[in-house]
Amino acid sequence: MRVLVVEDELYLAEAVQAGLRLEAIASDIVGDGDSALERLSVNEYDVVVLDRDIPGTHGDDVCRIIVERQLGCRVLMLTAASHLQEKVTGFEVGADDYLTKPFDLKELVVRLRSLARRPRESTPPVLEYAGIRLDPFRREVFRSGRYISLTRKQFAILEILMTARGGVVSAETLLERAWDENADPFTNAVRITISTLRKRLGEPSPIHTVPGVGYRLDEASQDQ
């Protein structure tokens, strides 16, 4: 999962980012609405944690633009106000969920995972491909009925590959989606994680390397 945190209180944004990192949730942070729209134009996010009262383009307008452009990401609106009308307005402009400040990080993580598992138009809530069943909400993976214990990064990589349903995903895309913008582009983290993920999944390996391009899941390699 990759999250964009739009929050002008830098200490809060950095605290949220640090907390999400511990949950293996990649996140980028920006402090105003204009920067948020710029990031959304070049990066793909699963959820946007959006403060309503931010400099530049107002949070409500950012939310409206996300909906109008059909960017596909969910919006979790943040506000310091707890009045019902504030929440009503947020939902009216397209927010998927609402959280009032101050909030507990654990609640934020639960809400983010709940939002991320909501299907986009063609994505089922539970992914099944190449003999593998992955439940994003329960964080469970089974291969031919056998439970597979994965680390958070292994789970994130596998989820991305399963969503692609046999399509080739580049190492750069995996790094961008499973880590964050501060990840070293020359790191071998993706290669190492793929290697350990293959061992966890067992033989025959469903993950194929496409030389010079990336990785894909092979449905013909289903465990028998």
pLDDT for 18-57, tens place per residue?
999 888 888 999 999 999 999 998 888 999 999 988 999 9
State the pTM of this model.
0.59
Bridge-based pairing of strands 97-100 and 74-79 is parallel
Is 69 in a helix, a strand, or coil?
A: coil
Work out the angle at residue 23's Cα, subtended by the Cα atoms of residues 22 and 26, and round it to the nearest 5 degrees: 90
Count of domains forming the chain = 2
- Residues 184-194, mean pLDDT to the nearest whole number: 82
Query: 66-76 burial string, b = 16+ CB within 10 Å, else e?
Result: beeeeeebbbb
* Per-residue model confidence (pLDDT) at position 122: 45
Are residues 138 and 157 part of one domain?
yes
Are residues 80 and 134 part of one domain?
no
* Per-residue model confidence (pLDDT) at position 181: 62
Domain extent, residue 86, equals 2-116
Are residues 108 and 7 part of one domain?
yes
